[in-house]
Amino acid sequence: MVRKALLGQLSDLDIRLLRVFRAVVECGGMAAAELELNIGRSTISRHVKDLETRLGLTLCHRGRGGFALTAEGQAVYDATLRLVAALDGFRSDVDDLHRRLTGTLVLALFDKTVSNPASHLHDALGAFHDAAPDAAIEMHVHGINTIERGVLDNQFQVGIIPAHRPSSALDYLPLFGEHMDLYVAPGHPLFATGESDNDDEAIRRHAYAGLGYHSPNMEKSHAMRLRRQATAYDQEAVAILVRSGRYLGYLPDHYARAFVERGQMRRIDNPRFQYDVEFAAIVRHAPKPSRMVQTFLDSLVKAHPQAVMPG
């Protein structure tokens, strides 16, 4: 016997309940969501309970043990992100018909780009605000794979990542470059002297801290046969591991410069272990970007003169 779905036609109330549920998940619980939603905890709890009744599912556990999603809750949350993105896209398309730039531009960035002198994302955001003063901006910082998946799922409208393996489902807009070096900190055997910097095998003997997902970082470390003994999921975590004095790790030179100037890190001066990456803005190949997204892409090109809009 096939169980009949409890949810019929999606109503405005359902969408409101889903938005409340999304906020609860992203804030980490109902108490933390009070400020974000500007409604009381008891009201939030009732909304979540109403949504569970409407869907016929238990979405989360709450109580003394804290807030935790169930497997069904995670699936509903993921579906909610796709639904909200689709609704925002529809609103943007309708606004295009009226030649208005409203709605929310959702961006996802790879971490530690703000200190890169070649990055002019701040200029692009300023130009976008001037061109679309009524548009809101929502920014996230994630790893490369999360950003790519989010753009493909329409959770993010634009992603900015180190380009590494192109996908035919995405369009790429090259923006700026970044230079990567291996670093060590006081307490590490390689910190005190540079005599071993050109000894590849001496470098490989030491524990390495690297990113735990497919990226230029992972590709280079595999190619150089570095022994990863600590795994990180953003570059700040790599920097903390390096500063322990027990690991060497790759960091962008613009980010590591402040640590070097304070004597807290040293660059391994071996060109064979260095590499460069190119950052690119990514959007879905189809459908074509909304006018709001295109306006932001135009702002990126203006801020980065070497950028070429994908054909």
Q: Categorize the per-residue pLDDT at 89 as very low, low, confident or very high, splitting at 50, 70 and 90.
A: confident
Long-range contacts of residues 53-58, Cβ cutoff 8 Å, at least 24 apart:
54/6, 54/7, 54/14, 54/17, 55/6, 55/7, 56/6, 56/7
pLDDT band at 287 (very low <50, low <70, confident <90, very high): confident
Residue 176 and residue 274 in one domain: yes
Q: How would residue 120 be classed by pLDDT, with cut points 50, 70 and 90?
A: very high
Q: Which of 47, 79, 111 is the last residue of a domain?
A: 79
Identify whether residues 158 and 290 lie together within a single domain. Answer: yes
- Whether residue 97 is predicted with pLDDT greater than 70 in this model: the reply is no
Q: Are residues 184 and 291 both part of a single domain?
A: yes
Whether residue 299 is predicted with pLDDT greater than 50 in this model: the reply is: yes
Query: 121 and 204 share a domain?
Result: yes
User: Which one is predicted more confidently, 7 or 247?
Assistant: 247
pLDDT band for position 66 (50/70/90)? confident
Q: Is residue 197 in a domain? A: yes
Domain tally, the chain:
2
Arithmetic mean of pLDDT, 160-179: 92
Predicted local distance difference test score (pLDDT) of residue 33: 87
Task: Give the CATH number, domain containing residue 27.
Answer: 1.10.10.10
Confidence of residue 183 (pLDDT cuts 50, 70, 90): very high
Residues 289 and 223 in one domain: yes
pLDDT at 150 over 60: yes
Q: Who wins on pLDDT, 290 or 124?
A: 124
Q: Does 96 map to a domain?
A: no
Q: Are residues 250 and 137 in the same domain?
A: yes
Residue span of the structural domain in which 160 resides: 102-311
Query: Do 239 and 246 contact (CB within 8 A), yes or no?
Result: no
Phi, psi at residue 157, to the nearest 5°? -85, -35
Burial 122-136 (b: 16+ CB within 10 A, else e): eebbebbeeebeebe
Same domain, 253 and 122: yes
- pLDDT band per the 50, 70, 90 thresholds, residue 308: low
As a whole number, the mean pLDDT across the chain is 89
Those residues whose C-beta lies under 8 Å from the C-beta of residue 60, and which sit 6 or more positions away, are 24, 25, 48, 67, 68, 69, 70, 73
Same domain, 232 and 305: yes
Q: Peptide bond preceding 133: is omega within 30 degrees of 0, i.e. cis?
A: no
Element (H, E) at 156: none
Both 135 and 233 in one domain: the answer is yes
For residue 36, what pLDDT is reported? 82
> Are 67 and 106 contained in the same domain?
no
Residues 65 and 162 in one domain: no
Q: Which structure tokens are listed for 232?
A: 């990180």
Q: pTM here?
A: 0.69
Please report whether residue 88 resides in a domain.
Answer: no
pLDDT of residue 151: 92
Does pLDDT of 12 surpass 90?
Answer: no
User: Is residue 51 scored above 80 in pLDDT?
Assistant: yes
